[in-house]
Amino acid sequence: MHGEYKEPGGKLVVVDLTVEEGRLRRVQVSGDFFLEPDSSLDAINRALEGLPADSSEDQLATAVAEGLDPAAHLYGISARGVAVAVRRALAVEGTEDRA
């Protein structure tokens, strides 16, 4: 599944993932944003990995924020923006299931 979100005044966030047994798997966040340190991207992916696929936007954003080192800096994206991209990816899945 694939979801995208352009942060207002910011950058593009892209999320690719699968759902297995109702959980987020193989989560890969990418886009045209910057993070410091670079390891923050791995932390975001780990924070989302295994979460229930029916997690709300708030729950996803909280998981991302809590998974980041307090000293991490996100430029052009936010935990909320990542959550929106995840929900968009999952919405596509729901649409396909109804077809």
Q: What is the CATH number of the domain that holds 74?
A: 3.30.390.50
pLDDT at 92: 67
Whether 52 is covered by a domain: the verdict is yes
- Identify whether 99 is part of a domain: no
DSSP summary character for residue 52: B
The predicted model scores a pTM of 0.89
What confidence score (pLDDT) does residue 30 get? 97
Q: Is the pLDDT of residue 96 over 50?
A: no
Which pLDDT value is given to residue 99?
Answer: 30
H-state helical runs in 1-99:
40-48, 57-67, 79-98
Tell me the DSSP string of 61-86: HHHHHHHS-TT-EEES--HHHHHHHH
pLDDT in tens, 77-86: 999 999 999 9
Mean pLDDT across 22-47 = 96
| Dihedral sign from CA coordinates of 1, 64, 56, 23 | positive
In this predicted structure, the answer to whether residue 98 has a pLDDT above a threshold of 90 is no
